[in-house]
């Protein structure tokens, strides 16, 4: 009889902010593995609104009660993080063919360089057009309607995002006054 090992997967991203689409991938991904680690990474090409610590806190609150999910912050290459966590798999959500093209390149690199497989999960239809960047733009440009935004992000995240963008706007105003 074959003995199966514990399968650990990493779901990496910047999650700035986490969306309902991300949560959907977490909920579905956790059913496929023994342990799912949500890896809060850094992307120097993106302008972050929340600190890594704030993103970890937000996501931990949202996944509380999901026994096989934990949230960790990391710096550096995703395949190195996966290796450090003893993960054999990276889970990625795919929204469209543009995602697939870039994710395939990354997945192949992670396999060649890090010997870590990637499993793609298609996003659910209602989240196919959702992105953290788009949500930040909507709120930043005055489109804060908690009821409508809660279709895209959890209400607690929408509230935090509004507060943070208000703080950043106040800081910009204060700096302009100098």
Residue 154 belongs to a domain = no
Examine the pLDDT at 5 and tell me if it is beyond 70: yes
Question: What is the Cα Rg of the chain in Å?
Answer: 17
Please check whether residue 68 lies inside any domain of the structure: yes
Strand order in the sheet with 117-122: 69-73, 35-40, 8-13, 89-94, 117-122
Taking 3-state DSSP, the helix, strand and coil percentages for the chain, each rounded to the nearest 5, stand at 50, 15, 35
Q: What would the mean pLDDT of 91-116 be, rounded to a whole number?
A: 93
Active site members: 22, 46, 95, 132
- pLDDT tens digit string along 144-157? 787 888 889 999 99
The answer to the question of residue 143 being in a domain is no
Residue in 82, 154, 147, 142 with CA at minimum distance from that of residue 114: 82
If phi > 0 it is left, if psi is from -120 to 50 it is alpha, else beta; for residue 106 that is alpha
Tens of pLDDT, residue by residue over 39-92, are 999 988 888 999 999 999 999 999 999 999 999 999 999 999 999 999 999 999
> Cα separation of 7 and 116, whole Å?
12
User: 126: pLDDT confidence band, cut at 50, 70 and 90?
Assistant: confident
Residue 166 lies in a domain: no
pLDDT given for residue 1 in this prediction = 52
Structural domains in the chain (count): 1
Q: What is the mean pLDDT of residues 138-147?
A: 81
Give the CA distances from residue 93 to residues 11, 26, 99, 139, 152, in Å, rounded to whole numbers and listed in that order: 9, 9, 8, 24, 15
Is residue 136 included in any domain, yes or no? no
Domain that holds residue 101: 8-127
Q: Has residue 117 got a pLDDT over 80?
A: yes
Lowest mean per-residue pLDDT among 5-14, 15-24, 133-142: 133-142
Residues 13 and 40 sit within 8 Å (Cβ to Cβ) = yes
Decide if 149 is inside a domain: no
Residue 172 pLDDT class (50, 70, 90 cuts): confident
pLDDT over 70 (residue 2): no
Give 126 or 82, the one with higher predicted confidence.
Answer: 82
CA distance 68 to 28: 12
Residue 12 lies in a domain: yes
Q: What is the pLDDT of residue 178?
A: 63
Q: Kindly report the CATH number assigned to the domain that includes residue 50.
A: 3.40.50.620
In a domain, 153, yes or no: no
Query: Does residue 3 carry a pLDDT above 70?
Result: no
Query: pTM here?
Result: 0.90
Q: Are 44 and 37 in contact (CB under 8 A)?
A: no
């Amino acid at each position: 009889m074959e003995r199966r090992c514990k399968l650990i997967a990493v779901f990496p991203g910047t999650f700035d902010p986490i969306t309902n689409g991300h949560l959907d991938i977490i909920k579905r991904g956790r059913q496929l593995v023994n342990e799912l680690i949500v890896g809060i990474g850094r992307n120097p090409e993106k302008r972050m609104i929340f600190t890594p610590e704030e993103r970890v806190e937000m996501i931990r609150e949202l996944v509380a009660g999901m026994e096989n999910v934990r949230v960790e912050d990391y710096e550096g290459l995703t395949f190195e993080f996966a290796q450090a966590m003893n993960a054999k798999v990276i889970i990625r959500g795919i929204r469209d063919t543009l995602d697939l093209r870039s994710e395939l390149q990354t997945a192949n690199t992670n396999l060649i360089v890090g010997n870590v497989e990637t499993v793609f999960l298609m996003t659910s239809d209602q989240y196919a057009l959702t992105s953290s960047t788009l949500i930040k733009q909507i709120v930043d440009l005055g489109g804060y309607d908690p009821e409508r935004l809660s279709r895209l992000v959890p209400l607690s995240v929408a509230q935090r995002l509004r507060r943070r963008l208000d703080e950043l706007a106040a800081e910009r105003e204060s700096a302009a006054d100098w």
